Structure 1
Amino acid sequence: MRHVRRVGAAVVMTAAVVLVSGCSGGDGDSAKGSEVDPVVVSETPPVDVVAEPTTEEPVTEAPSTPATPQEELDALAAEKGWEVDDLYAGSASAFVEDICESLPTSGADSTSRPQWLAESGNFEEDGKAILQAGIPKLCPKWSTVLKQAVSGKYDRWFGNGTYVVSSKPAADGGDQTIPPGTYRAEGKMENCYWERTSESGDIIDNNFATSARKITITIRSSDGQFTSEGCTVWKPVK
Structure 2
Amino acid sequence: MKITIATAFAAVLLATITACGSNAPPANLSPSGTPAVSQSPTTLPDVQGKRAVDARSELRSLGFDASFFDANGNEWLKDYPDTDVLVVGTEPAAHEAKPDGVVRIITNVSEAEQKAAASAKAEKAAQATLALRYTYTCGGAGTSEPQKIFKSYKEVWASLYYHRRNGCSLYLDGTSVYDTTKLLPREQKIVDIVAINGGDASIPGFAYASVFDLCAIDNPDYADELPAKPQWKKAEALAALAMCPDAPHAAALEEAAHAVQISDGNKIVGKDMEAGTYRTKPGVKNCYWSRNTGSGSIISNDFVGFAPDGAIATVYAGEGFESSGCGIWTKIS
The TM-score, its normalising length taken from structure 2, stands at 0.34
Looking at CA atoms only, which structure, 1 or 2, has the larger radius of gyration?
1
Structure with the bigger RCO (C-alpha within 8 Å, sep 6+) is 1
